[in-house]
Amino acid sequence: MSKWVYSFGADSCDGDASMRNLLGGKGANLAEMSSIGLPVPPGFTITTEVCTYYYDHANSYPERLRDEVSTALKNIETETGRLFGDAKNPLLLSVRSGARASMPGMMDTVLNLGLNDKTAAGMATATGDARFVYDSYRRFIQMYGDVVMDVDHGLFEDLLDDLKMAEGVFQDTDLSAAALQTLTESYKQLVLEESGEAFPQDPMEQLWGAVGAVFASWMNNRAITYRKLNDIPAAWGTAVNIQAMVFGNMGNDCATGVAFTRNPSNGENLFYGEFLVNAQGEDVVAGIRTPLPLTTRARIDGGVDGKSLEEEMPEVFAQLDGVRTRLENHYGDMQDLEFTVEKNKLYMLQTRAGKRTAEAALKIAVDMAAEGLISQEQAVARIDPASLDQLLHPTLDPNAERVCLARGLPASPGAASGKIALTADQAEARAASGEQVILVRVETSPEDIHGMHAAAGILTARGGMTSHAAVVARGMGRACVSGAGDVRIDLKSGSVHIGETQLKDGDIITIDGSVGEIYNGEIDKIQPQLSGSFETVMGWADKFRRMRVRTNAETPADARTAREFGAEGIGLCRTEHMFFDEDRIVPMRQMIMAVEESGRKQALDILLPMQKRDFAELFSIMAGLPVTIRLLDPPLHEFLPHSDEELAEVAKATGVSVELARQRALRLKESNPMLGHRGCRLAITYPEICAMQARAIFEAAVEVAASGPAPIPEIMVPLAGTAKEIEICRDIIDSAAAEVFAESGQKIDYLVGTMVELPRAAICADQLGEAAEFFSFGTNDLTQTALGISRDDAANFMHAYEEQGIYHTDPFVSIDVEGVGELVKMGVEGGRKARADIKLGICGEHGGDPKSIHFCETVALDYVSCSPFRVPIARLAAAQAALAKKD
Amino acid sequence: MSKWVYSFGADSCDGDASMRNLLGGKGANLAEMSSIGLPVPPGFTITTEVCTYYYDHANSYPERLRDEVSTALKNIETETGRLFGDAKNPLLLSVRSGARASMPGMMDTVLNLGLNDKTAAGMATATGDARFVYDSYRRFIQMYGDVVMDVDHGLFEDLLDDLKMAEGVFQDTDLSAAALQTLTESYKQLVLEESGEAFPQDPMEQLWGAVGAVFASWMNNRAITYRKLNDIPAAWGTAVNIQAMVFGNMGNDCATGVAFTRNPSNGENLFYGEFLVNAQGEDVVAGIRTPLPLTTRARIDGGVDGKSLEEEMPEVFAQLDGVRTRLENHYGDMQDLEFTVEKNKLYMLQTRAGKRTAEAALKIAVDMAAEGLISQEQAVARIDPASLDQLLHPTLDPNAERVCLARGLPASPGAASGKIALTADQAEARAASGEQVILVRVETSPEDIHGMHAAAGILTARGGMTSHAAVVARGMGRACVSGAGDVRIDLKSGSVHIGETQLKDGDIITIDGSVGEIYNGEIDKIQPQLSGSFETVMGWADKFRRMRVRTNAETPADARTAREFGAEGIGLCRTEHMFFDEDRIVPMRQMIMAVEESGRKQALDILLPMQKRDFAELFSIMAGLPVTIRLLDPPLHEFLPHSDEELAEVAKATGVSVELARQRALRLKESNPMLGHRGCRLAITYPEICAMQARAIFEAAVEVAASGPAPIPEIMVPLAGTAKEIEICRDIIDSAAAEVFAESGQKIDYLVGTMVELPRAAICADQLGEAAEFFSFGTNDLTQTALGISRDDAANFMHAYEEQGIYHTDPFVSIDVEGVGELVKMGVEGGRKARADIKLGICGEHGGDPKSIHFCETVALDYVSCSPFRVPIARLAAAQAALAKKD
């Protein structure tokens, strides 16, 4: 037989923190606090199961609920020494929602419940503060009328305004007790007129009305939308917390405040909080009066006038400080508290894990582990890996005001401000004269590299997360927002429309590449800092994780950054990105556009020594660590010449007419380049390209091995759908290896594997595994193909898809476990079936996403690979995944 | 213990036709013929297992092989009364390859083996025809030298030419016996000089040399390529057939000929063949002398001078005619025979199933079933479904000469010739004046419809199998070659480059839409004819098949054609194709380009009555059969306005500036339209479109049901990847249904289902099946996504992929069973798990491909759907699949 009601308070306490699902977060913590003897106003919680029952049974309650509520109510009466509805010393109650997951402000609350004409009069006498009582009463009628009886909130405000006019006062607080009492009469009249029912005078009727309203609010539109957005099942339901009211506003021996047990901003182990004497909770938040610091030290450090709580109410403070220690020891985490002091007596109203900055999270975790409050495992598990981004890039000051002009894709993290430059040359010139610049382009191409380098940030109107702009910006560590469709550029007039705003060349904008937003003007930023705590936590993470962490890198700068962040090799070197430089783009284009093998060979001869230098440098930086090199997989449309000038250049290099070059470029244009002549299809049709790259890899490897640790090249065949494609490429690669080894008299170990990025490859993995020594899951393309969604084109509908709960998170951010994840699983199983010791990794953008990394651990991949700045995130997430799996 | 050698002949015969895998096709049929008492020159077959052994054991033979060969050779000697190597009456042998599958001309043959200086001299004496003998000897040396001893064939020809010069003669046949004998000496000298070894005089050495050469030829480049192309495993190996030589050229009592047991061209039950007196097999083929008909009737009908075999050698003819009956009765199929008459004695050299036209195949199958030779099941199983295409469209005369200018995609079957027209208006004008026209465009758009209608065929430089041109042409029954990249059009000068050839407006070309080829000038065509046999076979097929056959159709014309061909409903009505007409394209564009819902609604109000009329017409034609209507899935890039004129038109209709329209069109342009904002993504983001279509469907259904059989609309949600998408669309559809039913007071049954065309949909089919009442596998898109290949862009590499055996057949033609097929299987299993009675079909182009239809039967789909002209093919293939499954 279910128990529907759980009491808490000094005398009786049935619940605890572990019963969050049943009691909701607020109820469970109230029970927990009272069970460890902290001063909590007594109350009880109606469980979430009642909510579920309520919706399953045509909005009715279980049979025994009323009895259980009556019993629990009696407990409160006993403990407080007040009676509910008593005319002399009435018990007042708060009725609050409290779901399993926090849903701030989404559901309804009723305070001061229990007041009626009779109890108000009695209470006025008892407290001697009629103004306070009638103000509470009129607030209660207003709240109850609005929440329970569906009377428009504004109508109460109108009556209040009328009264103030009549009384000739401006502030609510200037109204007299008598005036407020009159107002309660008008309010009751209003309720009757609007709802057709009298405002209930019976406190029990009030109570059940409020409980019903809280349950009903679980299904209001706000709550439904919030749950959709936050992936909270409707079936969870909400609990209802009914608790004795305490008042921080009954005189100068009263106060109310909020506190963090440690500094949530930097993690320092100092009590941190604010309070107001003779005030209600809302007053602290509302900002009408300025709250004062809790501790004297904080007051002095902040140069604040007035008294701290420590000075004002030393005994209460000492008690609160004790609660602080008690709660930290008990929960083993930094807490966010709410308290009220009623006539010098401290009451705890809430505790929960406190939100904190990344910096604070690291320091608190390390400190608490040092203090023995938590284990190193717990410390590692507690840090949100995604929050580390804050530590690695400048972020916008959360308190700074901002006007968002438009949104694009969060292509490269960090925030940057600067003057708009519409061309790369302009960006370079501006930067040279010491200005901060944001380069704004329809899309970027290799010709823009110098401008991108000079700019603090890059904004493009077109292109996805893997566009030229995005990839280059991530490599350079520049902030980038790409594919912002609402950006329209008019080069002639030098003007830019961003959303509804017209700007011009030289105007200042700010972009936040972590979220993809564009703002007007300059916005304050917080610069990143890496503390000792960061290194400590990373060290612990490395101890606990099973999966290796590599990086996606092709430039020496990226590779070095990644090494500094702890990368254990390169998991993806995209060789086509090595050709974005201006001096290489011409032979690259020449190669792509060549009709005959001879033309391609000519271009390849120019490219070979460049590739060899590239690889040699990467091998040296990675000093003996594995380096996965993907064979050329060019996004043709990014490499094709666009302008007449570019065409002329390529035509000249190739020795053909511009017209012929144009024809050829036109022929190479594809309807769906994502699904076109790319990946190993290039190596199959033009084996000489594969041969050149293989030769460059082996020549470089042999050279580097001669003077240092031998590199371990892992050569990756992209976009294979069949074993045969890998076999054909492997033959070419093995031949090149044999040649180079014969020429140099030196051998090195290498692997040939493939990128599993097509559904067919995953499905036929048992065949592909026969031909490949490793699989690297390319989950970007796998997501595009499995879901049939082009990342570059998703902007037009993905927002609606998330909003309507079709995909809860963007599947390009976190791996779609049911669809794409299933393919990865098939790939893993097939691969291991074919080759028990096959090496398995992931190199899509998901390799740096904590949720996806957890998935990778469940299928036991050997490593994840991600962009350099996400390496620490991946190390931490991999450790958490390993710890979670162990549990 | 394996038996390596199988004899055949009158005296001893170990093999039969069922041993094709072991003895190869030729060997098995020779054994079969001799086992049923037909006159076959005695011989033996070395099995294909020896070939496999040979390659597994470093080109060596099994131990007992030599003994078995000796024994078998003795049998021949006994039966022929000649001894191998005997100086007086030598036995001569032929040594021929013979694989399990026919590989014509790919491997080596040696004839006249056993001749040497001694046996030649003896035989010259015995036969009294020294010229014949030395001609045979010199041919043998040449063949053996080339095939076994690797001496260049041309060098023998040189010596022959020298000799003719010296002798002053022009024809080989003018050389005397003495001259030919001299030539054998020069040949032997040549062999010694070139190979370093003497031409072997020992007949046994000759024999083993030839056997080794045949096995070796299994791995020659020609054979390897042929096997790759025809999907023949190398492991099958070839057999070697060694047989006593017989000669049709030893005088006027000798002859040689080829025959079909029935007319292979029209199927008439008449003996059909040709022969030459005193000739070798090659002479019949070489065409130096004109062969004569076998039968007197054929000679008279053909108005041929000379004597038929029936007249020339009545006894031999009677014997041959007996063999004809015997073989047909025995094999139950029309046979293709080779025979030789040596000194009035008939020898059968080969029999095999005869190739025939589609018309002949139908007639022969129906006749043979009537004659009781075969069952109706066998008759149905025997027709190649793909060959029916010949009967439904004009085809090129296979004997007509042709110059292929270039290739494109076989977008719509049939052959057509006509004058080149470069614009639709021109095409219309030309056609109006009675000329045949081929409309040649870069790509077509809805504005070209009138020109396409006027043209006999359509050729486009761009666009795939599902482009506007392809779809409209198939619907209209026009021949079409699309995506022919080597076609370049210069509208200004009115010239067209096709491949290397420059043509102009008004020049005549021919296109073959069944294979995708473009030819210069007019080429003779064969017009299609449907015989009674066709209807008979179709009737039998319908009896035997389990799967239903529907059609893909959206125009009344298509629907009617399909009904005439026996379609049992519509499996795919692509509603977006209903808007290609000129009067609809503007509101369609207006709808696509609208920024606000109001703009879309305005366009939808125009489109609703049009859609309703469309559906009503289809429902009427399909009279109570199911009609699957796919919600709008527009290929945006085909509907976006391109020209300034089109933009102006849309801008005017929408009431916005041309500039704004251009901006909007630019925003709607996608990088990868295949993976873009299409399918149900449109219904999710613009629910009013889905609502309009649902309303049009139900209004039409209710209207049609009022006066005839109630239609069964099956409304299909395209491109779903999740159950949620289907649920959202279903809500809209159900609401529209409820509204229309309430308005009309009439209800009709309908289903809501989805098109499974994304890997995720197949993987999560158990979830989608909860929301969908039917699945239709859209294997076009499923192939594109699973393999990551854009059909429109595959031309650049698919040829190389087929050539290198990566995909044996184009996966867009026949379903890729291992990859895409596996997804279909998952989809079927998941769907049935969610809903045991879920209706399952296929509506990709594979629905009309016989191989793919076989696959559909193995996974037990309920129906296949294909384009109208493929309906008969699908009916037949479905029957064959059902029969094959039963076996």
| Mean pLDDT in residue range B610-627 | 95
Predicted local confidence at residue A587, as pLDDT: 84
B645 versus B456: the higher-pLDDT residue is: B456
Cα separations in angstroms, A468 against A419, A441, A511, A636: 22, 12, 18, 12
Contact A764 B819 (CB under 8 A): yes
Return phi, psi of residue A444, to 5°.
-100, 160
- Beta-carbon separation of A672 and B673 below 8 A: yes
Residue A448 has which token pair?
Answer: 């823009």
**Which residues of chain B neighbour A816 with C-beta distances below 8 Å?**
760
Distance CA A79, CA A77 (A): 6
Q: Do the Cβ atoms of B786 and A464 come within 8 Å?
A: no
What DSSP element (H or E) covers B681?
A: helix B680-685
Count Cβ neighbours within 10 Å for each residue of A691-712 and write b for 16 or more, e otherwise: bbbbbbbbbbbbbbbeeeebbb
Contact B670 A793 (CB under 8 A): yes
- Contact list in B for residue A488 (CB cut-off 8 A) is 663
Evaluate if residue A390 carries a pLDDT over 90.
no
The overall average pLDDT reported for chain B is 91
Q: Does the distance separating the beta carbons of B796 and A676 come in below 8 Å?
A: yes
Distance, CA of A781 to CA of B759 (rounded, Å): 13
- A453 as an active site residue: the answer is no
Question: Residue B798 — very low, low, confident or very high, per pLDDT cuts 50/70/90?
Answer: confident
Q: What is the pLDDT of residue A793?
A: 86
In the structure, what pLDDT confidence band is assigned to residue B443 with cuts at 50, 70 and 90?
confident
Sequence-distant (≥ 6) Cβ neighbours of residue A123 within 8 angstroms: A89, A90, A115, A133
Å between A498 CA and nearest CA of chain B: 14
Q: Which of A135-139, A637-641, B93-97, B221-225 has the lowest mean pLDDT?
A: A637-641
Torsion of CA A37, A38, A39, A44, to 10 degrees: -80
Rg of chain B taking only CA atoms, in angstroms: 33
Residue A401 has pLDDT above 80, yes or no: yes
Residue A475 predicted with pLDDT over 70: no
Q: Which residue type is seen at B391? A: L
How many angstroms away from the CA of B404 is the closest CA of chain A?
A: 21
Contacting residues of B for A800, CB less than 8 Å apart: 684-685
Mean pLDDT calculated for residue range B126-131: 90
Query: Which has the minimum average pLDDT: A604-608, A852-856, B90-94, B367-371?
Result: A604-608
Q: Please tell me the distance from the alpha carbon of residue A586 to that of residue A606, in angstroms, as a whole number.
A: 10
Q: What is the pLDDT of residues A50-93, one digit of tens each?
A: 999 999 998 999 999 999 999 999 999 999 999 999 998 899 99
Rounded CA gap, A389 and A135, in Å? 48
Residue A748 host element (H or E): none
pLDDT at residue B642 above 90?
A: no
Of B673, B787, B800, the CB nearest to A760: B787
Average pLDDT over residues B193-202: 95
pLDDT at A286 over 70: no
In this structure, the number of other CB atoms found within 10 A of the CB of residue A155 comes to: 17
pLDDT for residue A287 = 59
Can you give the pLDDT at residue B234?
85
Q: What is the pLDDT, as a whole number, of residue B762?
A: 98
What is the pLDDT, as a whole number, of residue A536? 96
B683: Cα within 13 Å, side-chain hemisphere = 26
Element spanning A198, H or E: none
pLDDT band at A11 (very low <50, low <70, confident <90, very high): confident
Active-site position among B13, B51, B254, B468:
B468
Task: Check A464 against B719: CB less than 8 A apart.
Answer: no
Q: Give residue B288's pLDDT band: very low, low, confident or very high (50, 70, 90).
A: low
Does B716 have pLDDT greater than 70?
yes
Q: Which residue of chain A comes nearest to B790, CA vs CA? A: A675
Q: Which of B671, B785, B815, B818 best tests the A interface by mutation, with the highest count of A CBs <10 A?
A: B671
* Whether B202 contacts B115, CB under 8 Å: no
Say which of A670, A725, A807 has its CB closest to residue B790. Answer: A670
Positive or negative torsion for Cα B7, B8, B11, B12: positive
Q: Rounded CA gap, B568 and B865, in Å?
A: 9
B448 pLDDT higher than 90: no
Size of interface A-B (CB pairs under 8 A): 177
Q: What is the pLDDT of residue A583?
A: 73
Q: Is the confidence at residue A205, as pLDDT, over 80? A: yes
User: pLDDT digit string (tens) for A352-376?
Assistant: 998 888 889 999 999 999 999 999 9
Contact assessment for residue A91 and residue A116, using Cβ atoms and an 8 Å cutoff: no
User: For the segment A141-187, what is each residue's pLDDT rounded down to a tens digit?
Assistant: 999 999 999 999 889 989 999 999 999 888 777 889 999 999 999 99
Rounded to a whole number of angstroms, the distance from the CA of B793 to the nearest CA of chain A is 5
Above pLDDT 70, what percent of chain A? 98
Could B684 and A792 be called an inter-chain contact, meaning their C-beta atoms sit closer than 8 Å?
A: no
pLDDT digits (tens, 9 = 90+) for A599-652: 888 889 999 999 999 999 999 999 999 999 999 998 766 777 777 888 888 888
Q: What is the pLDDT of residue B1?
A: 61
Residue of chain A whose Cα is closest to the Cα of B720: A787
Query: C-alpha angle A280/A286/A289, rounded to 5°?
Result: 75
Buried/exposed code over B10-40 (b: 16+ C-beta within 10 A; e: otherwise): eebbbbbbebbebbbbbbbbbbbbbbbebbb
Give pLDDT tens digits for B549-584. 999 998 898 899 899 999 999 999 999 888 877 678
Q: Which residues pair with B291 in a beta bridge?
A: none
pLDDT at site B466: 64
Of the pLDDT bands very low, low, confident and very high (cuts 50, 70, 90), residue B398 is confident
pLDDT in tens, A856-870: 999 999 999 998 989
Cα–Cα distance, B392 to B389 (Å, whole number): 5
> Which uninterrupted H or E stretch holds A21?
helix A20-35
Rounded to an integer, the average pLDDT of B389-401 is 86
Q: Across chain A, what does the average pLDDT equal? A: 91
% of chain A residues with pLDDT over 90:
67
B561: nearest Cα among B870, B776, B865: B870
pLDDT at residue A740, rounded to an integer: 97
Q: pLDDT value at position B800?
A: 87
Q: For residue A843, indicate whether it is catalytic.
A: yes
**Beta strand A437-441 with A415-421: parallel, antiparallel or unpaired?**
parallel
CB A406 within 8 A of CB A518: yes
CB–CB of B671 and A797 under 8 A? no
Cβ neighbors of A171 (< 8 A, separation 6 or more) are none
B/e letters for A363-390, b = 16+ CB within 10 Å, e = fewer, are bbbbbbbeeebbebbebbbbbbbbbbbb
Instruction: Give B811→chain A minimum CA distance, Å.
Output: 12
User: Across the interface, do A759 and B785 touch by the CB < 8 Å criterion?
Assistant: yes
**pLDDT band at residue B785 under the 50/70/90 scheme:** very high
Q: pTM, whole model, 2 decimals?
A: 0.84
Q: Which residues pair with B696 in a beta bridge?
A: none
Long-range contacts of B439-448 (CB under 8 A, 24+ apart): B440/B487, B440/B489, B440/B496, B440/B509, B441/B469, B441/B489, B442/B489, B443/B467, B443/B468, B443/B469, B444/B468, B444/B469, B444/B472, B445/B638, B445/B642, B446/B579, B446/B580, B446/B581, B446/B582, B446/B585, B447/B582, B447/B585, B447/B646, B448/B424
pLDDT of residue B229: 67
Chain B CB contacts of A760 below 8 Å: 786-788, 816, 818-820
Of the residues B597, B758, B760, B822, the best mutation for testing chain A's interface (the one with the most A CB atoms within 10 Å of its CB) is: B760
Per-residue pLDDT at A113 exceeds 70: yes
Range scoring the smallest mean pLDDT among A788-802, B59-73, B135-149, B216-230: B216-230
pLDDT at B421 over 80: yes
Is the pLDDT score of B12 beyond 90? no
How many Å apart are CA B347 and CA B30, to the nearest integer? 11
Instruction: Tell whether the model's pLDDT for residue A121 goes beyond 90.
Output: yes
> What integer pLDDT is reported at residue B286 of this predicted model?
59
